[in-house]
Amino acid sequence: MAKIKVLDTNITIVKNNEEDYISLTDIANSKEGEQRAADVIKNWIRNRGTLEFIGTWEKMYNSDFKVVEFDHFKMQAGLNIFRNYKIAKVKV
């Protein structure tokens, strides 16, 4: 695992199949502290703009992407009752 330093924060980079992945947890830790990192990520992932970006990405790069199911899911984004409990926890 490599690290880069961004604004005095070490961010972990993991390489998998020649693709680089950055740690969202490291970024969230730098913003709100380690105790609030999970909340920062949960709030970010339920943001409608974030889901629009993820949906566009999936349409472009995932031939098995289920657009109809995603549209139903996306319609709930931003509502107070919306929670995305299907986020996989990945420890970097």
pLDDT for 91 beyond 50: no
Which residue reads 């790069």 in tokens?
A: 61
pTM, rounded to two decimals: 0.57
pLDDT band at residue 92 under the 50/70/90 scheme: very low
List the beta bridge partners of residue 22: 13
Residue with tokens 């990192």: 37
Instruction: State the pLDDT confidence band at 35, using cuts at 50, 70 and 90.
Output: confident
